[in-house]
């Protein structure tokens, strides 16, 4: 397959369709609208369903329903709309429903602006809805990775019966880069997908089994039973933490005098600064979490080389990831933070200046 | 080699397309490319700009701090991005819409009356193609053939007449660009 | 020098952010004029929507609140209940009012809240670049109905005046258009009446403006008005759907 120059918003939509997603429900919002528009165009062509819902609240509940019948389903939005979806996400986590939610983040809080930001880290990673639950959170940093993570997201959602969020931002949504897609699922694979959840999902009682009774539900009034249920969820989360941590190490070596931690778009900018400074003989490493939950605590801890003076966190928010980094660093070296707010994306020059000042 | 470029002008002057076609041509030649537009309500009647990177190496940041190359189609764009261009970089600007010009003496300036030339070719809408030509002529960033291929795939069926005009503008631009090498 | 037309005091000097030739500007001005004419500048407050009129909070020269997408009628309810001696209106687009905000508008109307609603029906999402609205006409192409709106799949366009007129509480409901000078004069009368009723604490008042979006429809402003006359007016019939002051039920 040859490469196509594509916007991130379109690439993630195409990748989802190839991964077997045939149900998509969403509501327009900038800077995510190309995604919904791509789905509007393509879903009818592959015999799928596209509905522009009347709101994000409706869209996420359509997702709840479609996931409840055991089908691959996706929704997408940008920050203000993702806030509206939190109720539904909490219900899906409680009912253990697999689904993919894409957040093309923009500046906040409130209506904020429409420029790229990373202000929804806490919401995504620490639980934006109510109750004890976890989302699997994937953070791409290129159009290619945005597309790749879309199909991984569906696999993870199905494997763990858990909602998965792809946490992107306006820059990844709007920029074009060459992207190479995995082959689309074959008819047989699609059928296998359709049947994978029959043991629990809402489906016809094919063999007239008198005991067939599947419930999609997050209600449990008996505290003892609810506690058991949540404990079971946390056993699952522990399993995910054991198996699914992903990160990228960039330029990490024993020569590093600084170790950077950054995710998504921010990490790309940091890479440019690292490259510029490497030319001048300054050794700086980067750990880029690809899963923001489960978090790569150990990867960061073990990337702190003997000469590292400090761990520097760069984000397009007020420092929401810093506490996770501090858990990883565990007091070994100081942790510093610098970021930009309001939808401003820092430039390689900004980061370079910050890093140079450390030497 | 890595070339970092910013193209800027009024919405409607086709600046996004300059970056897009160059990126597409670069991709055809097996290079790494990225295309990052400004977006949002500022596009409505306002100014638009696009950062394009074309490189032999994987591209770290698609955000350009110090462009090697600036194409400014109007004065506000020249004023805004002119100072960011790297020392010894290149600034191509449209003298028809940049009455005050550019004061820098540590970069190579390529002032071109782009509206006049585009109108000579027969349409203001080929202005952006002229700019592509100048870039290719000056830098050899991508091959003419690659751009032609990209344009073919967009326009061969839809609008062969416009295709011809566009190619004519690119060739004219290449001639102009070559004068500065 | 004789001043023939000047900016009403109820508008700030902030330039409108609407595209040239967009009817949003006319609606905004009609409302401002009516508020001025009723001498309400010091007692009026409005709620701006999320849509092309999002910056209405800067345009009106009295206190304004900006609401989350679709929630203006709920915000207005809180304002009115908290300061009953003030007069409150909302200004909302069709996505804001008839899609994401359907629950809020229906229930504010059903409670007969003493507020005025000004509803701009341009059959599209203007602000976000031309997606389908609940009021998009059957067959109409938008970026999210690229093959034309298919009523069998996504439903027929919603007629909000008719829908709200099925409720008992609303006091005044009228649909007007901004498509010709004559229609604009009639629209001005309707806006005046709504503000009058608001001032007199009569009850819930609702004006729908049949409008245009030249930018996203892809027409120039003249063509857009003609298109709307031909295509929107037959479906969205102009007229008074409820006027308890004039005994129209
Ligand atoms: C919760 C939420 N969802 C989506 C959006 C994005 N959004 C902004 S304006 C708009 C639609 C505006 O359309 P309409 O109400 O018809 O107003 P118009 O621009 O046409 O006047 C949308 C979907 C948002 N700001 N917040
Ligand atoms: S996008 Fe449409 S509705 Fe919005 S201001 Fe422009 S013309 Fe008016
Ligand atoms: Mg509208």
Residue C89 lies in a domain: yes
| Bond preceding residue C165 cis, omega within 30 of 0 | no
Query: Are B41 and C17 in contact (CB < 8 Å)?
Result: yes
Residues of C in contact with B44 (CB under 8 A): 19, 215
Q: Is C124 in the pocket of ligand 2 (CB under 6 A)?
A: no
Find tokens 């994401």 and name the residue.
C100
Q: Is C214 in the pocket of ligand 2 (CB under 6 A)?
A: yes
How far is residue C74's CA from residue C91's CA, in Å, rounded to a whole number?
A: 13
Q: Is C118 in the pocket of ligand 2 (CB under 6 A)?
A: no
Q: What share of chain B is helix, strand, coil (3-state, %, to 5)?
A: 45, 20, 35
Strand partners, C65: C47
Dihedral pair phi/psi, residue A262, rounded to 5°: -155, 155
Q: Whose CA is nearest to atom 5 of ligand 2?
A: C18
The answer to whether the CB of A259 falls within 8 A of the CB of A311 is yes
Query: Are A170 and B23 in contact (CB < 8 Å)?
Result: no
Tally of domains within chain C: 1
pLDDT tens per residue, chain C (249 residues)? 666 678 899 999 999 999 989 999 999 999 999 999 999 999 999 999 999 999 999 999 999 999 999 999 999 999 999 999 999 999 999 999 999 999 999 999 999 999 999 999 999 999 999 999 999 999 999 999 999 999 999 999 999 999 999 999 999 999 999 999 999 999 999 999 999 999 999 999 999 999 999 999 999 999 999 999 999 999 999 999 999 999 766
Query: Are A5 and B33 in contact (CB < 8 Å)?
Result: yes
Residue C18 lies in a domain: no
Search chain B and give the residue with CA nearest C215.
Answer: B44
Query: What is the dihedral angle through the alpha carbons of C61, C65, C68, C73, rounded to the nearest 10 degrees?
Result: -100
C106 in contact with chain A, both atoms CB, cutoff 8 A: no
Percent of chain B, pLDDT > 70?
96
- Ligand 1 atom with the smallest distance to the CA of A29 is 6
Q: Which of C28, C67, C93, C210 to mutate to test the pocket of ligand 1 (most atoms within 8 A of CB)?
A: C93
The boundaries of the domain holding residue C138 are 24-248
Touching C (3+ Cβ pairs <8 A), the chains are A, B
- Angle formed at CA A110 by CA A107 and CA A114, multiple of 5 degrees: 30
| Bridge-based pairing state of the strands A163-169 and A99-105 | parallel
Which residues contact ligand 1 via a Cβ below 6 A? A 27-29, 56, 80-81, 84; C 50-53, 69, 93-96, 120, 122, 124-128, 133
Give the residue from B100, B151, B105 showing the smallest Cα distance to B129.
B151
Search chain C and give the residue with CA nearest A25.
Answer: C144
Q: What is the mean pLDDT of residues B107-125?
A: 94
| Confidence band of B43 (pLDDT split at 50, 70, 90) | very low
pLDDT tens digits along B133-160: 999 999 999 999 999 999 999 888 889 9
Search chain C and give the residue with CA nearest A55.
Answer: C100
The first and second tokens of residue C84, run together, are 């009953």
Q: Is C19 in the pocket of ligand 2 (CB under 6 A)?
A: yes
Residue C216 lies in a domain: yes
Supply the CATH number for residue C57's domain: 3.40.50.970
CATH architecture of A4-195: 3-Layer(aba) Sandwich (3.40)
Query: Are A176 and B35 in contact (CB < 8 Å)?
Result: yes
Measure the N-to-C terminal CA separation of chain B; round to a whole number of Å.
18
Q: Whose CA is nearest to atom 2 of ligand 2?
A: C213
> What is the b/e burial string over A106-142, where b = at least 16 CB atoms within 10 angstroms of the residue's CB?
bbbeebbbbbbbbbbbebbbebbbeeebbbbbbbbbb
C19 in contact with chain B, both atoms CB, cutoff 8 A: yes
Touching A (3+ Cβ pairs <8 A), the chains are B, C
Residues of B in contact with A114 (CB under 8 A): 39-41
Measured between CB atoms, which of A113, A177, A272 is closest to B61? A272
Touching B (3+ Cβ pairs <8 A), the chains are A, C
How far is residue A207's CA from residue A109's CA, in Å, rounded to a whole number?
A: 52
Which of the residues A29, A112, A177, A277 would you substitute to probe the B interface, choosing the one with the greatest number of B C-beta atoms within 10 Å? A177
What does the domain layout of chain A look like in residue ranges?
4-195, 248-356
How buried is A159 (Cβ within 10 angstroms: 0-12 exposed, 13-18 middle, 19+ buried)?
A: middle
The answer to whether the CB of A311 falls within 8 A of the CB of A287 is no
Please give the pLDDT value at position B44.
54
Weakly modelled stretches of chain A, pLDDT under 50: none
From residue A55, how far is each of A82, C98, C128, C134 by CA, in Å?
A: 11, 10, 14, 11
Query: Are A349 and B62 in contact (CB < 8 Å)?
Result: no
What is the least distance, in Å, from the CA of B149 to any CA of chain A? 14
C17 in contact with chain B, both atoms CB, cutoff 8 A: yes
DSSP class of A230: H
Q: Whose CA is nearest to atom 1 of ligand 2?
A: C126
How far is residue A121's CA from residue A123's CA, in Å, rounded to a whole number?
A: 5
- Rg of chain B's alpha carbons, rounded to an integer? 15
pTM assigned to the model: 0.95
Query: What is the dihedral angle through the alpha carbons of C183, C185, C187, C191, rounded to the nearest 10 degrees?
Result: 180
Question: B2-178: which CATH topology?
Answer: Pyruvate-ferredoxin Oxidoreductase; domain 3 (3.40.920)
Domains A4-195 and A248-356 share a fold: yes
Residues of B in contact with A175 (CB under 8 A): 34-37, 62
CATH class of A248-356: alpha beta
Please give the pLDDT value at position B42.
43
């Amino acid at each position: 397959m040859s490469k196509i120059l594509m916007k991130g918003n379109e690439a993630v939509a195409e990748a989802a369709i190839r991964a077997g997603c045939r149900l998509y429900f969403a509501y327009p919002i900038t800077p995510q609208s190309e995604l919904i528009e791509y789905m509007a165009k393509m879903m009818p062509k592959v015999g799928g369903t596209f509905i522009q819902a009347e709101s994000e609240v409706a869209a996420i509940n359509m997702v709840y329903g479609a996931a409840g019948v055991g089908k691959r389903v996706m929704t997408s939005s940008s920050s203000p709309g993702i806030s509206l979806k939190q109720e539904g996400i909490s219900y899906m986590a409680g009912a253990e429903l697999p689904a993919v939610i894409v957040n093309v983040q923009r500046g906040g809080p409130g209506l904020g602006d429409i420029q790229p930001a990373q202000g929804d880290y806490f919401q995504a990673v620490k639980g934006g809805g109510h109750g004890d639950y976890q989302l699997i959170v994937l953070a791409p940093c290129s159009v290619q990775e945005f597309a790749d993570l879309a199909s991984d997201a569906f696999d993870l959602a199905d494997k763990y019966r858990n909602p998965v969020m792809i946490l992107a931002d306006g820059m990844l949504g709007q920029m074009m880069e060459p992207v190479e897609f995995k082959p689309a699922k074959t008819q047989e694979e699609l059928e296998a997908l359709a049947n994978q959840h029959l043991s629990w999902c809402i489906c016809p009682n094919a063999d007239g089994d008198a005991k067939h009774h599947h419930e999609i539900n997050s209600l449990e009034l008996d505290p003892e039973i609810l506690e058991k249920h949540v404990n079971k969820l946390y056993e699952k989360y522990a399993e995910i933490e054991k198996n699914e941590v992903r990160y990228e190490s960039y330029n990490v070596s024993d020569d590093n005098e600084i170790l950077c931690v950054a995710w998504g778009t921010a990490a790309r900018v940091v890479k440019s600064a690292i490259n510029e400074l490497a030319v001048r003989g300054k050794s700086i490493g980067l750990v880029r979490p690809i899963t923001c939950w489960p978090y790569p605590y150990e990867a960061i801890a073990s990337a702190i080389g003997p000469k590292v003076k400090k761990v520097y966190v760069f984000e397009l928010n007020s420092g929401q990831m810093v506490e996770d980094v501090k858990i990883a660093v565990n007091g070994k070296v100081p942790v510093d933070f610098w970021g930009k707010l309001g939808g401003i994306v820092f430039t390689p020059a900004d980061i370079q200046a910050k890093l140079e000042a450390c030497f | 080699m890595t070339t970092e470029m910013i193209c800027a002008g009024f919405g409607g002057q086709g600046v996004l397309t300059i970056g897009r076609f160059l990126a597409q041509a670069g991709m055809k030649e097996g290079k790494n490319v990225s295309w990052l537009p400004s977006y949002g309500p500022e596009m409505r009647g306002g100014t638009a700009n696009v950062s394009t990177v074309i490189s032999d190496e994987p591209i770290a940041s698609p955000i350009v701090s110090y462009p090697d190359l600036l194409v400014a189609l109007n004065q506000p764009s020249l004023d805004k991005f002119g100072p960011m261009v790297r020392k010894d970089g290149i600034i191509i600007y449209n003298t028809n819409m940049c009455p005050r010009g550019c004061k820098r003496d540590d970069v190579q300036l390529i002032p071109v009356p782009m509206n006049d030339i585009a109108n000579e070719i027969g349409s203001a809408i080929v202005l952006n193609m002229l700019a592509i030509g100048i870039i290719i002529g000056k830098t050899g960033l991508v091959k003419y053939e690659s751009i032609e291929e990209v344009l073919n795939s967009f326009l061969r069926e839809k609008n062969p007449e416009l295709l011809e005009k566009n190619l004519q503008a690119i060739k004219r631009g290449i001639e102009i660009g070559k004068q500065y090498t | 020098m004789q001043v023939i037309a000047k900016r009403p005091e109820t508008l700030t000097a902030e330039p409108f952010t609407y595209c040239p030739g967009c009817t949003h500007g006319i609606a905004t001005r009609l409302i401002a004029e009516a508020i001025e004419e009723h001498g309400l500048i010091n007692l009026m407050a409005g709620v701006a929507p999320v849509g092309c009129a999002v910056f209405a909070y800067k345009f009106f020269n009295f206190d304004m609140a900006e609401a989350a997408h679709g929630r203006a009628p709920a915000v207005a309810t809180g304002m009115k209940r908290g300061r009953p001696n003030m007069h409150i209106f909302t200004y909302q687009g069709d996505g804001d009012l008839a899609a994401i905000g359907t629950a809020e508008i229906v229930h504010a109307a059903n409670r007969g809240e003493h507020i005025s609603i000004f509803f701009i029906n341009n059959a599209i999402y203007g602000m976000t670049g031309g997606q389908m609205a609940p009021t998009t006409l059957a067959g109409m192409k938008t970026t999210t109905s690229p093959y034309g709106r298919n009523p069998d799949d996504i439903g027929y366009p919603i007629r909000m005046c008719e829908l709200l007129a099925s409720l008992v509480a609303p006091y005044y409901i009228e649909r007007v258009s901004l498509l010709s000078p004559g229609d604009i004069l009639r629209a001005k009368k309707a806006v005046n009446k709504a503000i009058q009723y608001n001032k007199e604490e009569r009850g819930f008042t609702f004006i729908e403006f049949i409008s245009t979006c030249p930018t996203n429809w892809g027409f120039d402003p003249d063509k857009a008005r003609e298109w709307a006359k031909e295509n929107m007016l037959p479906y969205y019939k102009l007229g008074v759907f409820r006027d308890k002051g004039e005994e129209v039920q």
